[in-house]
Amino acid sequence: MATVEVARPNEGVDNLMLGYSDLRSLQTRRPLVIARGDGIRVIDENGKSYIESCASFFNASFGYSEHELAEAAYEQFKLMPLYSSASHRTVDVVLRLTEMLTARLPLPDAHISYCCSGTEANDYAVKFMRYRNVYEGKAAKRKVISRQNSYHGSTVVDSSLGGAKGLHDSFALDMADYRFVTQPDYFNNRLEGESEAEFVARLAKELEDVIQEAGPETIGMFFAEPICFSSGLTPPPDGYWPAMKAVLDRYDILHMDDEVITGFGRTGDWTAVDNTLGFKPDLMTLAKGISASYFPFAVTVISDPVYQGMLKGNDIQHGFHHAGTLHGHPVGAAIVIRVIELMEERKVLEHVREMIPVLHKGIHAWRGHEAIADTRAVGLAGAIQLDPAAFGPKGEENRGQMGQRLLECCMERGLIVRPRADSVIIGPPLIAGAADYEEIFALLALGMKDLQEEMR
């Protein structure tokens, strides 16, 4: 039978559901379709090149064309392409990786549970906390406190503990086990005349009040990024973490450190535990950069005291009843091993530490610009916050969306930035060099100029 060619001007898009996109506009406006990668650049189906100044979602740490990682994957595919790590069976690469990870993470006697995404790793962190508390004789300690405007993933649990009120309502989430406190975003959340020290003291008091109100015997975990990216990149003020930790310790509440973005190099270290938190977390999650995102791979790291509680459950239940068919995938493990090796062979952490001041200088150079309200930089990431009022009536119309408007102008110039409310954030692949930063800031300046002209 002859095949009939059907003209499809929006080919491939009709049946596609794209997250954080307007599903209706997908029918009429083709999304950016990437065909290939080259270093820190991606090239679309029409051959236009863009610098991915946010490493996609802060995850493409080695950029988009690292053949060493492709080779590591291919070698493992040929040797042992899949195997489920469960039921007292695993793969040699998983053992090798576990040893390499524990030697580099700041919790040397921790236990590692593998999965496939940051979302999953965070969901399991909550699950493991509850499991541990059940067998430590405090089953009521199951609630989670997190921070407004945070993002921790997309399952029911992660969407609940993420601080986006709109999602709680629109997905009809059961919010009984979740509480929220203020994000340590000093610029946007301070009271008039409040010093940083007063701001920190107010947030610690707020945490204590929330615990008291919910009942300390019901709160199991505080869940947060060490530096919050989802809130528009908000570095915590000095003293924030010690003040919060003191409250958590007073009420026997576990600290869960979401290092899905900050982990594996973004702050110039394997994690932000030593350079930002200043204390060891009880649980920690890593994803994105761990495999440079060349494979869906993530881990939940469980400190030994928490693990000891889980062991009690194991003994009573005759085993640990938790697994996933693809958890600890051998190809993912082989890629992570190569990522670690490349980071060490090429001194990537040292390179990041050299690039941090270059990025910060480029970001803070925007201070004083007529259209900029605030600049923030921490680790290998920076944000500029636009002042909608500086763009006249069109700026006011777009209040809360100025980041998106600037992204649109930057994309015309061949630069992808990450919008968040009135801010745009950059956090390039870890491999970006000084010349790349020069180009990123030059394109950002052109995008800003275009936006100012467009809104005049």
Which residues of the chain form contacts with ligand PLP (CB under 6 A)? 57, 117-119, 122, 151-153, 225, 229-230, 258, 260-261, 287-288
Cα distances (Å, whole numbers) of residue 205 to 167, 181, 195? 27, 10, 15
| CB nearer ligand PLP, residue 160 or residue 398 | 160
| CB nearer ligand PLP, residue 331 or residue 455 | 331
Angle subtended by helix axes 348-364 and 434-454, to nearest 10: 30
| CB nearer ligand PLP, residue 57 or residue 320 | 57
| CB nearer ligand PLP, residue 123 or residue 208 | 123
CB 275 within 8 A of CB 269: yes
SS3 382: strand
| CB nearer ligand PLP, residue 152 or residue 405 | 152
Closest residue to ligand PLP using C-beta atoms: 118
Minimum CB–partner distance for residue 117 and ligand PLP (Å) = 4
Minimum CB–partner distance for residue 45 and ligand PLP (Å) = 24
| CB nearer ligand PLP, residue 20 or residue 109 | 20
Cα separation, 61 vs 40, in Å, equals 9
* Helix ranges restricted to H, 27-66: 55-58
Minimum CB–partner distance for residue 68 and ligand PLP (Å) = 22
Minimum CB–partner distance for residue 296 and ligand PLP (Å) = 8
| CB nearer ligand PLP, residue 216 or residue 324 | 324
Cα separation, 381 vs 178, in Å, equals 29
Cα separation, 207 vs 203, in Å, equals 6
Minimum CB–partner distance for residue 153 and ligand PLP (Å) = 4
Is the backbone of residue 323 left (phi > 0), alpha (psi -120 to 50) or beta? Answer: beta
| CB nearer ligand PLP, residue 118 or residue 395 | 118
| CB nearer ligand PLP, residue 17 or residue 435 | 17
Strand segments (E) across 231-272: 254-258
SS3 236: coil
DSSP state of 376: E
Minimum CB–partner distance for residue 155 and ligand PLP (Å) = 9
> Structure tokens of 307?
């693990």
What residues have CB less than 8 Å from 337, skipping those under 6 apart? 72, 93, 96, 97, 100
Minimum CB–partner distance for residue 352 and ligand PLP (Å) = 18
SS3 299: strand
Minimum CB–partner distance for residue 213 and ligand PLP (Å) = 26
φ/ψ of 423, rounded to 5, equals -110, 155
For residue 302, what is the enclosing H or E element? strand 298-302
What residues have CB less than 8 Å from 359, skipping those under 6 apart? 377, 380, 381, 382, 426, 428, 437
Minimum CB–partner distance for residue 189 and ligand PLP (Å) = 19
